[in-house]
Amino acid sequence: MHRNIYLKMKTLEEARQIMFTAFDLSGVLDVETISVPDAVGRVLARPVDALFSSPGFHSAAMDGIAVAAEVTFGASEGNPKELVMGKDAFPVNTGHVLPENTDTVIMIEHVNDVGDGRVEIEAPAFPWQNVRRMGEDIVATELLFPRNHMITPYCVGALLSGGIFSVTVRKKPRILIIPTGSELVDWENIDLPEPLPGQVLESNSYVLGKLAEACGAEYVRHAKVADDPDMIKQVVKAASGGEYHLIMTVGGSSAGTADYTRQVIDDLGEVLVHGVTIMPGKPVIIGKVNDRPVFGMPGYPVSTIVAFEQFAGPLISSMLGQAATARTEIAVEPARKIASKLGVEEFLRVKLGTVGNRIVATPLPRGAGCITTITEAHGIIRVPNNMEGLKESEPVTAELLCPLPAIKNTIVVVGSHDNTLDVIADEIKAGGHGGVTLSSSHVGSMGGLMAIKKGVCHLAGSHLLDVEDGTYNISYIKKYLPGIKVKLVNLVDRDQGLIVAPGNPANIKGIEDLSREDIVFINRQAGSGTRILLDFQLDQLGIDPGAITGYENDEFTHMSVAVAVLSGTVNVGLGIYAAARALKLDFIPVVTERYDLVIPEIYFQTRNIQVLLDTINTARFKRRVEALGGYSTSRTGEIVFG
């Protein structure tokens, strides 16, 4: 089979330089004249000068009396000055035209009415006191906004006040987005509850389109094109000779046998870049057809987003005479050591939270196909291509994907996974607690205790069984967190057991069946409470872990275990009943265990933790948890240690 090969890969800097050198897009956009209220978000094609001054007359800035300042000179508390209304002073309200031959307004609260049309003042005024002078804000003929200025809602007020009611702006760049792939299916065409095996819901073109709109462009989404090079070529050729300023194909940009984008661009024009040393986003293609930029965007969601933000987005901004928007950057500390591939610049998605006096970064999964690693991320750490990773707790720079206050209001939970954490997060958000949110990272119960020890989280979820006495968590806290005062709060009691396919086709009855030759098992990661429970059960039954097919293969969440069973790649996994029920799988109970929250005392009385504790003690939270199945909330919120 024929495979593409990458042309010589370029660094991000090299690829961007090639792109901007190849395309001088200044002046490519036509202009149009639109009303000022409709111009927000648009870019001025011409400078705008004021026609009117604002204010257009001297006006009172306060309620009071208008006077000529000189008539007030000499007034004092011991020697008040008397003024005759209608002669020396004139009543005015805020915004009124200043009467002729006056230049000052004395606030009404500083005026004493002495009767008979006379008033008294006890302090002198100075010229133009409490007066908005003509042209104070805008002077007719002055430049309001230069060419290439983007109109904001604030600008509307300035333009209208300056007598400008319409402006000439650049037309929006027109972008054509062409999703490719025989496996793709549009969401409008899904008749079943979910796509059939082998079908993939097409979402990238919509994401790219909305990203283009955010840059000031407008987009057209072409109907899906199958993996047929002639069909793809026909669409790209027609588009390059039409009204579009930029073309993006989605998918087929890599080096597989069904990746045709590079060949299509090469046949119609010129491939400038194929492959950039970034991750995600490596397979991006930059080409030129009929002097128009054509991008081959990767098919994985995060790859295509990164490729857009680094290439297509900045090019759209340049058409509009705008600099690419730079994200706010802050210093953060990685919660753990993070390895990275030398020679590749990595865009690492992270969750962030303020713990103590530092902002801690916890990496999210790195798969380019996981769109949730962007939707859940608070920031991005860019690992340079000359580094093999990041050191634990050594400050690095992160680009923010959310406002900084959101990070300061984030409760950082590290440790064992449980579905109730998602319920807590939703309930806190729904409660409107001043922006408090919860962010959880799943590294297992022991990983949670180690995170507390390192000071990189506010609390940890834990269900560590003491095999000596059958208790949970306390002995581990005493052993691994000496000198750290914590409160141990019960969240739930939950059922752990074997998750199997509907109808239990493998006829699994208990832990003892895991060593059968016809059974494939999926495990939880080392250090997780579930793994410790399994090893205890195996030891009790005298079963060697090496006899279990799949013992060495692990997942980090109960839902991931359930998905592995649902997919048919394994026969069984150990997990919680709620995960099995959520995916309509069968469940064989093994034990009811305690799942607790380990909270350092230094954070226990903080507002955010009190919000969490108040939330888990509500009747609504408990009802939602018990509705998941396999949970008891009879002890929820109880401090069981500390």
Dist CA 396 CA 29 (whole Å): 40
- Choosing among 3.40.640.10, 3.90.105.10, 3.90.550.10, 3.40.50.300, the CATH entry for 31-54+137-170 is 3.90.105.10
pLDDT at 26: 81
Kindly list the domain boundaries of the chain, sorted by start residue: 12-26+173-319, 31-54+137-170, 59-132, 329-401, 445-641
445-641 has CATH 3.30.460.10 classification:
no
Determine the angle formed by the axes of helices 619-628 and 420-430, rounding to 10 degrees: 150
What are the tokens at 245? 């300023």
Tell me the backbone φ, ψ of residue 283, rounded to 5 degrees. -75, 5
pLDDT of res. 64? 97
Select the CATH number that applies to the domain covering 329-401 from these four: 3.30.310.50, 1.10.10.10, 2.40.340.10, 3.40.718.10. 2.40.340.10
**CA distances to 226, 348, 581 from 254, in Å:** 16, 21, 39
Residue 55 has phi, psi (to 5 degrees) of -65, 160
Residues 6+ apart with CB under 8 A from 396: 331, 332, 333, 334, 361, 381, 390
Please give the Cα distance from 505 to 501 (Å, whole number).
7
CA atoms within 13 A on the CB side of 597: 30
Query: In this predicted structure, what is the pLDDT of residue 7?
Result: 56
Strands (E), 93-190: 104-107, 112-115, 118-121, 131-132, 143-145, 166-170, 174-179, 184-185
Q: Are 388 and 340 within 8 A, CB to CB?
A: yes
**The model's pTM:** 0.87
CATH 2.170.190.11 fits 59-132, yes or no: yes
Write the DSSP assignment of 411-446 as a string of letters: EEEEES--THHHHHHHHHHHTT-TT-EEEEEE--HH
HSE value, Cβ hemisphere, 13 Å, CA-based, for 639: 9
CATH top-level class for 12-26+173-319?
A: alpha beta
Supply the pLDDT for residue 1. 36
Cα–Cα distance list, 103 to 58, 100, 134, 623, 628 (Å): 8, 8, 11, 70, 74
Q: Tell me the Ramachandran region of residue 182: left when phi exceeds 0, alpha when psi lies from -120 to 50, beta otherwise.
A: alpha
CB 448 within 8 A of CB 484: no
Segment-wise mean pLDDT, segments of 10 residues, the chain, 642 residues: 61 97 90 98 97 95 97 94 96 96 96 94 96 95 97 98 98 97 89 80 97 97 94 96 96 74 95 96 96 96 97 97 92 93 94 95 90 94 94 94 93 95 96 91 93 96 94 97 97 98 97 97 95 95 96 94 96 97 96 97 97 97 97 97 93
Closest CA to 604 of 488, 449, 512: 488
* Cα angle for residues 222, 225, 229 (degrees, 5° grid): 125
Residue 258: what pLDDT?
63
Q: How far is it, in rounded angstroms, from Cα 225 to Cα 180?
A: 5
CA distance 125 to 472: 78
Q: Which residue has the tokens 């000779």?
A: 241
